[in-house]
Copies of this chain bind each other. A is one copy, B any other.
Amino acid sequence: MRKILVGFFMCLLMAGMVYAQEGAGMKDTFSVIHSRKSVRNFTGAPVGRTDLDRIIRAGMAAPSAVNAQPWSFVVVTERKKLDELAAGLPYARMLLKAGAAIIVCTDPDKAYDQNRDLAVIDASLAGENILLAIEALGLGGVWTAAYPYADRMNHVRTVLGIPQEVIPLNVTPVGVPTGADQPKDKYKPEKIHWEKW
């Protein structure tokens, strides 16, 4: 009996090790979707390039109208540039403590039918994948709108050298969360219409 227990616990130890290893990189999709929140409080710690690359790859996996992929991404980690962006964006002051910023851009000329609405929608889907990837990595982020505000878009274009025909859709600060921001429960059954409006 004692030997059976020894075998049992040996296996348990191994299973625990496997589980811990998987847990480090794997997070259930529904948990991530529901635990994602707008993180505005960062510790000031840097964000590594490997993480940023994984986040952008997730963005590019989004669908787009007729697979046109009109999006592009500027990734900023330099302290000076993050501060310059913040200086002209009153709603993105959390950049001062963020480790990075991802600017999701879109080019209407590259969208299906050169349609600006489709360009914006396509890049928005990429932007949501990016927010979920940030959460999945245990980091925090928040969508701060550049589009449709001409003054904000022009500031972002000037600081980052983005061409005039490209729309900087948002500025997403990315950082290590302090833990101050928590997800909201936004479930409202009255917003669901079954079978017809």
Task: Write the residues of chain A forming the contact surface with B, with a CB cutoff of 8 angstroms.
Answer: 1, 3-12, 15, 25-34, 36, 38, 53-54, 56-58, 60-63, 65, 67, 69, 71-78, 81, 115, 117-118, 120-121, 124-125, 127-129, 131-133, 135-136, 142-143, 145, 147-148, 160-163, 166, 169, 183-184, 186-188, 191-197
Contacts and interface: CB of A to CB of B under 8 A. Distances in A.
12 contacts: A11-B12, A25-B30, A29-B29, A67-B184, A67-B186, A71-B191, A73-B193, A81-B196, A115-B148, A125-B131, A128-B128, A128-B129
A135 B153 CA distance: 34
A60 B161 contact: no
Oligomer: number of copies: 2
Given A6-B7, A28-B28, A72-B192, 20 more contacts: A1-B3, A4-B6, A7-B7, A8-B8, A15-B15, A26-B31, A27-B28, A29-B135, A57-B187, A65-B145, A69-B188, A72-B193, A73-B191, A75-B192, A115-B148, A117-B147, A118-B145, A124-B124, A125-B128, A160-B197
B33 A61 contact: yes
A106 to B, nearest CB: 11
A69 B120 CA distance: 18
B73 A192 contact: yes
Given A27-B29, A128-B128, A60 B6 contact: no
A195 B100 CA distance: 10
Nearest to A163: B197
Contacts of A31: 26
